[in-house]
Amino acid sequence: MTLPFILNGEDVTANTEPDKRLIDILREDFGLTGCKAGCRAGSCGACSVIFNGSLSSACLIPAFRVRGSEIITIEGFALTDDYNDIALGFSMHGVENCGFCNAAKILLADQLISGKKLPLGGEILSAFDGIICRCATGENLAEAVAEAAKIRRRRRHVQTG
């Protein structure tokens, strides 16, 4: 099956098998291995991508839903100023992120601080409940996300001022 879609801002086409999932299309057809295969059942977050504007598990998205969609992976997001806001917030508060959980933590943090209202500490921690990582403490994660929100606000103020 032929699937035209937008991947990290580029028009692309995948020629793929109908029983494939988005995670396999990204990894096998486009070499985007930042999307990791963990549980393959929607419960660990390792395969997180932005799918039509929302954080989604690529392991749950069947090939037919990819046609005409817009997808941002961690590789594409890493080229943006928005990524830098979060990476800086994480590094200032010592948040660990390895290859397994990186896409989930960074993309989720971005979704949280992109909303109209910044979530409070407890709300941030609950949002991260669905991501499997035993390495980072909850406390510094909430602080890091709040810091990233401040960094972004200041950056955008300077850029638009």
SS3 of the chain: the string is CEEEEEECCEEEEEECCCCCEHHHHHHHHHCCCCCCCCCCCCCCCCCEEEECCEEEEHHHCEHHHHCCCEEECHHHHCCCHHHHHHHHHHHHCCCCCCCCCHHHHHHHHHHHHHCCCCCCHHHHHHHHHHCCCCCCCHHHHHHHHHHHHHHHHHHHHHHHC
Site for ligand FES in 46-75 (CB under 6 A): 46-47, 57, 59
The reply on whether position 148 binds ligand FES by CB under 6 A is no
Binding-site member from 1, 79, 98, 120 for ligand FES (CB under 6 A)? 98
- Identify which range of 37-45, 78-86, 112-120, 151-159 contacts ligand FES by CB under 6 A: 37-45
Residue 100 sits in the site that holds ligand FES (CB under 6 A): yes
Which position among 30, 88, 96, 155 is part of the footprint of ligand FES (CB under 6 A)?
96
> Would you count residue 34 as binding ligand FES (CB under 6 A)?
no
Q: Contact between 121 and ligand FES (CB under 6 A)? A: no
| Interacting residues with ligand FES (CB under 6 A) | 37-40, 42-47, 57, 59, 96-98, 100-101, 133, 135-136
